[in-house]
Structure 1
Amino acid sequence: MRTQVAIIGAGPAGLLLSHLLHLRGIASVVLELRDRAYAEGRVRAGVLEQGTVDTLIDAGVGDRMLREGMPHHGIELRYGGRSHRIAFEELVPGRAITVYGQQEVVKDLIAARLRDGGDLRFEVDDVAVHDLATEHPYVTFGGERLDCDFIAGCDGFHGVSRPSIPDGVLTEYRREYPFAWLGVLARVKPSSQELIYARTDRGFALHSMRSPEISRFYLQVPPDEDLANWPDERIWAELKTRLETIPGFNLATGPILDKSITPMRAYVAEPMRYGRLYLAGDAAHIVPPTGAKGLNLAVADVRLLTDALALWYTTGSATSLDGYSEACLKRVWRAQHFSWWMTTLLHTFDSDDPYGRRLQLSHLDQVTSSRAAATTLAENYVGIPYESAPGARVKETS
């Protein structure tokens, strides 16, 4: 078998890359370890930046998102018994976020690729990449061989792509946070029209949603917390304690559909390329979910990679491919900083550090009273404008 681009991973990064390449007339094969039901059902991110929304619309895969997604023009910061709205429509006119689950994006992309005759292969095993430093890389899987011009590693933090890069090539940056998130999906109408980020002395809480009938919640818990310690009754009681901190707000409850504990960590690998292997999304970087940047960074990566590959196939120029890593990392580190900033702004770190708590509250006061500080939050939350890799001629999405 032969294709132009072999893509490992059928998450949002790999599927969107395959679709964008198809729109440029570039062939690809997508290889995925899990089955299709798993790929379409895994509950993860749900906040799409303005640029991500525009990218999906421009690529022709945004119709259902436009019908079912929930545009938001602000978020609420709740602390000290007070509520403060960060109004995107005033601070960053024309830009917003849309709440639309990652699994829904995956469903839309799979449907589009299959409709267009895309080659998606689920439940493949023994995936390995070879000859990355040559002009003729290839992938083996399940006893088969796939020759290609390039390989895109879109297989997440635990995939095979990044570990296939020889020792000593990558510089890896890591940060572990001293807490985790208990995530809850519940069949209950959201109690707020916008996301609520709540800082309390008991820990952080987030009220989010996935649809008009499904809500998403997060609680800060210890990093080694056992999910068995959190029956539904305890979850609702703690959410009420952390969210019902302003007069008149009552948290609606309902059946819990799913719950899990996610560690809070950050990671960046540099460079995001080795030979003919290009990393994208979680294969190259992860961020704590406080800033809602993971999926959005993956979209930014594959936009750049699509433009770079299109330039190479149309002109033979490797300028954009050579600049891919540097261009991606500029945005990655901005998102890393914003996610760290939001995390330190809202979480409880050390209950025995009254000085640190007072600094945190002072910082929150500045964000909620200074238009300049609030604008910085809003600009980063809705997503900074895209940049292109050197040499690429790309339509910018505002």
Structure 2
Amino acid sequence: MRTHVAIIGAGPAGLLLGQLLYQAGIDNTLIEHRSADYVLGRIRAGVLEQTTVELLERAGAAGRLHKQGLLHQGFELLFAGQRHRIDLHGLTGGKGVVVYGQSELTRDLMAARAAAGLPTIYEAAQVQPLDFDSSRPRVRYQQDGQMREIACDFIAGCDGFHGVCRASVPAASMRCFEKVYPFGWLGLLADTPPVGEELVYAHTERGFALCSQRSTTRSRYYLQVPLSDKAEAWSDAAFWQELRLRLDPETRERLVTGPALEKSIAPLRSFVTEPMRFGRLFLAGDAAHIVPPTGAKGLNLAASDVGFLAQALAQHYAEGSQQGLDGYSARSLARTWKAQRFSWWLTSLLHSAPDASLFDARMQRAELEAIVHSRAAARVLAENYVGLPLQ
């Protein structure tokens, strides 16, 4: 088999890249080691920046999003027992975010790919990107007990933090930066109406909490917990009780509880690998960087990566130019580090670190007060939250 671009990983990043390349007339094949059902079953966040929505529009996969996505023009910041609204729309000149579940976004991209008749290879075992430091890269994989190969011009590594693409690069060829946070997020998904029309970020002495949503009838809640905790040790009743303790009285009164559809604990880390290009192998999304979920930047960073890469590949095939490909890593990393800074700052601001001193706690409180009492400080938060312009 031969294709222009072999995309390893059929999650949102790989699927979006495939659609953008298709729109540009560039052949591509997706290779995924999991099943389609497994990919769809992943529970992830769904706060989309406008730039991500625009990329989905270009990919021809935004129809259902525009009908069902929830436009949010602000969010609530809760601390010291009081909620304060951050007016995203007013602070950023009319911008906001769209809440739309990642599983739904993935479903839309899968449907668009199927409608176009584009090849996707699921349940591929022993996937290996090969010879990407040469002019003839290829991808080897096993299916139905047989080893197969795809010859290609380029390989896009969209296979996540634990994927094979970054692991296939010699360690001496990259530099990795990492911070592991001393707490995790216990998440619960429930078919219950959200506590309000907008998200609530809570900073409390008991730890961070987030009241999020997937639709007007499905809610997603998070609690900061020690890394030593296990999701199965938390009953539904214990989760709801702890969440109540981290909310203000009015929000607590509006909270509707119900059985958990899914419950899990996610560790928090910041991670970046430099560069993001190795010969004819390009890393994108979680394969190249991880951000803590506090700032809702993971999916949006992946989208901007593949947007840059699709643009560079289109330029290459249309004009024979290497300029976009040569600049891909620097361009993506510049945006990545801005998102890392924001995600690290917001995580540090809202969570209670186990080793925090009384001075640290007072500094958190002082910064939160500055945000709600200074329009300039609130604007910095809002501009980063809705997403910085693509550059």
* TMscore range, shorter length: over 0.9
Structure 2 counterpart of 1:258, from 257, 262, 273: 262
Q: In terms of mean alpha carbon deviation, does 32-41 or 261-270 score higher?
A: 32-41
| Preserved contact between residue 68 and residue 100 of structure 2 (Cα < 8 Å) | yes
Structure 1 counterpart of 2:179, from 169, 175, 189: 175
Superposed CA offset, 1:11-52 (max 9, x none): 111000000000000000000011111111211011001111
Structure 2 counterpart of 1:365, from 365, 369, 378: 369
Counterpart of 1:395? none
Counterpart of 1:345? 349
For residues 261 and 114 of structure 2, what CA distance do their matches in structure 1 show?
A: 30
Counterpart of 2:165? 161
Letter in 1 for 2:113: R
Pick closer, same or farther for the CA change 1:247–1:328 going to 2, 3 Å: closer
For residues 207 and 287 of structure 2, what CA distance do their matches in structure 1 show?
A: 30
Counterpart of 1:136? 136
Letter in 2 for 1:72: H
For residues 44 and 248 of structure 1, what CA distance do their matches in structure 2 show?
A: 25
Counterpart of 2:380? 376
For residues 80 and 36 of structure 2, what CA distance do their matches in structure 1 show?
A: 45
| Preserved contact between residue 154 and residue 283 of structure 1 (Cα < 8 Å) | yes
| Preserved contact between residue 140 and residue 150 of structure 2 (Cα < 8 Å) | yes
Equivalent residue of 2:334, what SS?
helix
Structure 1 counterpart of 2:275, from 271, 275, 293: 271
In the TM superposition, residue 314 of structure 1 has moved relative to its aligned partner by 1.1
| Preserved contact between residue 212 and residue 221 of structure 2 (Cα < 8 Å) | yes
Counterpart of 2:297? 293
Superposed CA offset, 1:159-214 (max 9, x none): 00001011201000000001000011011000111000000000000000001110
Counterpart of 1:112? 112
Say whether 1:28 aligns with 2:32.
Answer: no
Equivalent residue of 1:262, what SS?
strand
Counterpart of 2:70? 70
| Preserved contact between residue 182 and residue 354 of structure 2 (Cα < 8 Å) | no
Unpaired segments ≥5 residues, structure 2? none
In the TM superposition, residue 245 of structure 1 has moved relative to its aligned partner by 4.5
| Preserved contact between residue 20 and residue 58 of structure 2 (Cα < 8 Å) | no
Between the two proteins, the alignment pairs up a number of residues equal to 387
Letter in 2 for 1:364: L
Letter in 1 for 2:55: T
Counterpart of 2:7? 7
Runs of 4+ in structure 1 deviating by more than 3 angstroms, as ranges, are 244-250
Counterpart of 2:225? 221
Equivalent residue of 1:3, what SS?
coil
Equivalent residue of 1:322, what SS?
helix
Unpaired segments ≥5 residues, structure 1? 388-398
| Preserved contact between residue 83 and residue 246 of structure 1 (Cα < 8 Å) | no
Letter in 2 for 1:176: V
Counterpart of 2:314? 310
Letter in 1 for 2:80: G
RMSD, aligned CA: 1.1
Write out aligned runs for 1:31-110 (5 A).
31-110=31-110
In the TM superposition, residue 242 of structure 1 has moved relative to its aligned partner by 0.5
Superposed CA offset, 1:111-139 (max 9, x none): 00110011111111110011111010000
For residues 59 and 264 of structure 1, what CA distance do their matches in structure 2 show?
A: 31
Letter in 2 for 1:30: L
Superposed CA offset, 1:272-293 (max 9, x none): 0100000000000000000000
Counterpart of 1:394? none
| Preserved contact between residue 9 and residue 156 of structure 1 (Cα < 8 Å) | yes
Pick closer, same or farther for the CA change 1:132–1:228 going to 2, 3 Å: same
Letter in 1 for 2:243: L
Counterpart of 1:19? 19
For residues 373 and 241 of structure 1, what CA distance do their matches in structure 2 show?
A: 28
